[in-house]
């Protein structure tokens, strides 16, 4: 793709959009930036339907911008923009849940084994910004969301990993089939000699084997003892055993031995906001799983505990079915404390399964749980929803939760 002199529109001025605009400008493009909200960035114009009607040589959409805004015009995302410029082999990791943990773990394993690596994508550094620091002998380990994969054409992962595919983001993709197809794009663009690392127990993952021209490598939690005793895996839950096995398969393809993989796993620390232990006070434990932004992620969080839970649910609905939480909450939770815009829908879906407490906000939910919890109980933030009704991001939601918990733990809560 010739960039110099091209008239480019970059839509969405969050982190990846700004990085895309910077990259294009540095390579000689005439760049206009746009967003629904005003931003103090070069070449900025407010996003309107008419803006897309102008004669653009290139339109780059940020992951947070629905593809429908382009009204059928040819668009790419920042991952595709980076495709020709990212040096070194790519390990691309997708899935509904576990992407951040697995991506971080693969990076940790490779670094621990002395393999040159940089980590980014949907976490940390945008892929387009990683082009500057990439080199031919260095691996690029990338977390890739369905929104990023929806607009790829030539972007290629030498090792593509899919952890699982369950209902999520139906507010954006509209159907589960569309959502799964976006995930599958990671394997459609592979070539002979590449590898598809797929969850043998997930039916959608299994279907992706037919999409790749490369070699399929299967993983399952059932084979974990071949790598290391499960008791030595430092992150809780069966789903994290699957994540470890996926990371191990990818790391082996990057040349790391089983012994070095196991040694690195033992020193891995949980990702912030993903089943993160925060504090214990008077025998009550607090866990932050703010990154559980889908129902399936919340199921995995619930499955990581034996019971005696006070579960904080709610936020911005993504078209989810919360009824699948009924049995687990009935069996494991004292109550579900509901917050945010989705509270009413969640209450309808969970009615009669568990005690429901309409808390409204995170601080009230936590205060209510703390007032009722007894020694041996666990207060768990696992919202099953996006954060954008009351917070800027799941990270902000998690940080505020931790601040509130630490106030309780230190006796300074108000």
Residue 153 forms part of a structural domain: yes
If phi > 0 it is left, if psi is from -120 to 50 it is alpha, else beta; for residue 192 that is beta
Same domain flag for 308 and 238: no
Residue 360 and residue 243 share a domain:
no
Question: Are 296 and 405 contained in the same domain?
Answer: yes
Instruction: Give domain status of residue 271, yes or no.
Output: no
Cα 237 to its chain centre, rounded Å, is 17
**pLDDT at res. 412:** 64
Strand 276-281 to 284-288 pairing: antiparallel
Token readout for 311 is 């579960």
Domain boundary among 56, 74, 92: 74
Note the pLDDT of residue 414: 45
Asked if 46 and 95 sit in the same domain, the reply is: no
The pLDDT score that the predictor gives to residue 167 is 74
Q: Please give the radius of gyration of the chain, using alpha carbons only, rounded to the nearest integer.
A: 22
Q: How many folded domains does the chain comprise?
A: 3
9: its two tokens = 């529109």
pLDDT value of position 413: 58
Same domain for 364 and 258?
A: no
Residue ending a domain, choose from 215, 241, 266: 266
Distance CA 320, CA 317 (A): 7
Residues 6 or more apart in contact with residue 89 via CB below 8 angstroms? 139, 140, 158, 159, 254
Domain boundary residue, one of 244, 266, 288: 266
Tell whether 145 and 248 lie within a shared domain: yes
Beta pairing, strands 58-61 & 7-11: parallel
Residue 315 lies in a domain: yes
CB-CB contact of 146 with 94 (8 Å): yes
Does residue 398 sit in the same domain as residue 249? no
pLDDT along the chain (414 residues), means of 10: 95 96 98 96 96 96 93 94 98 94 97 98 95 98 96 97 87 89 98 98 98 98 95 90 97 98 95 90 96 93 94 96 97 98 98 98 98 97 96 96 95 62
* Pair (155, 226) in one structural domain: yes
Residue 414 lies in a domain: no
H or E segment to which residue 208 belongs: helix 203-208
Handedness of CA 110, 111, 112, 113 (dihedral sign): positive
Look at residue 10 and give its three-state secondary structure: strand
348: domain CATH number is 3.90.190.20
Task: Give the residue among 43, 50, 91, 104 at the shortest CA–CA distance from 196.
Answer: 91
Let me know whether 284 and 261 are in one domain: no
Whole-angstrom CA distances from 150 to 18, 113, 128, 268 are 20, 33, 16, 31
Residues 331 and 226 in one domain: no
State whether 85 and 176 are in the same domain: yes
Nearest to 326 by CA among 317, 340, 336: 336
- In which element (H, E) is residue 348 found? helix 343-350
Residue 116 lies in a domain: yes
HSE value, Cβ hemisphere, 13 Å, CA-based, for 330? 10
Question: Residue 124 contacts by C-beta under 8 Å, 6 or more apart in sequence?
Answer: none
Please report the pLDDT score of residue 52 as a whole number: 95
Residue 138 lies in a domain: yes
CATH number at residue 59: 3.40.50.720
| Assigned domain for 96 exists | yes
Which among 387, 229, 389 is positioned nearest to 401, based on CA atoms? 387
Range of the domain at 38: 7-74
Both 110 and 153 in one domain: the answer is yes
């Amino acid at each position: 793709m010739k960039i110099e002199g091209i008239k480019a529109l970059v839509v969405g001025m969050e982190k990846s959009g700004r990085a895309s605009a910077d990259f294009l400008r540095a390579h000689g493009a005439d760049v206009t930036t746009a967003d629904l909200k005003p931003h103090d960035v070069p070449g900025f114009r407010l996003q309107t339907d008419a803006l897309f009607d102008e004669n653009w040589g290139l339109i780059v959409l940020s992951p947070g911008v629905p593809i429908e805004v382009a009204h059928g015009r040819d668009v790419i995302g920042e991952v595709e923009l980076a495709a020709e410029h990212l040096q070194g082999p790519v390990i691309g990791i997708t899935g509904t849940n576990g992407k951040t943990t697995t991506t971080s773990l693969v990076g940790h394993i490779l670094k621990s084994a002395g393999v040159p690596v940089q980590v980014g994508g949907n976490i940390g550094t945008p892929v387009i910004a990683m082009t500057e620091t990439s080199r031919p002998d260095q691996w690029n380990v990338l977390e890739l969301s369905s929104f990023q994969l929806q607009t790829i054409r030539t972007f290629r992962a030498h090792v593509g990993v899919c952890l699982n595919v369950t209902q999520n983001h139906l507010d954006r993709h509209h159907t589960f089939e569309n959502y799964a197809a976006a995930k599958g794009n990671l394997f459609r663009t592979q070539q002979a000699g590449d590898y598809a690392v797929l969850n043998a127990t997930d039916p959608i993952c299994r279907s992706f084997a037919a999409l790749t021209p490369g070699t399929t490598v299967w993983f399952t939690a059932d084979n974990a003892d071949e790598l290391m005793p499960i008791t030595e895996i430092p992150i809780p839950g069966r789903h994290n055993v699957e994540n470890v096995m996926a990371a191990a398969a990818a790391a082996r393809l990057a040349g790391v031995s089983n012994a070095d993989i196991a040694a690195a796993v033992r020193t891995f620390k949980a990702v912030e906001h993903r089943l993160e232990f925060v504090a214990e006070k008077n025998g009550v434990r607090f866990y932050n799983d703010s990154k559980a932004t889908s129902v399936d992620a919340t199921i995995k969080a619930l499955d990581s505990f034996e019971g005696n839970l006070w579960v904080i649910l709610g936020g911005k609905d993504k078209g989810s079915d919360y009824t699948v939480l009924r049995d687990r909450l009935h069996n494991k939770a004292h109550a579900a404390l509901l917050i945010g815009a989705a509270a009413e829908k969640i209450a309808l879906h969970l009615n009669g399964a568990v005690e429901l407490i309409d808390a409204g906000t995170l601080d009230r939910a936590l205060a209510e749980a703390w007032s009722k919890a007894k020694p041996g109980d666990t207060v768990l933030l696992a919202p099953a929803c996006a954060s954008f009704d009351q917070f800027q991001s799941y990270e902000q939601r998690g940080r505020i939760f931790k601040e509130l918990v630490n106030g309780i733990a230190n006796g300074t809560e108000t």
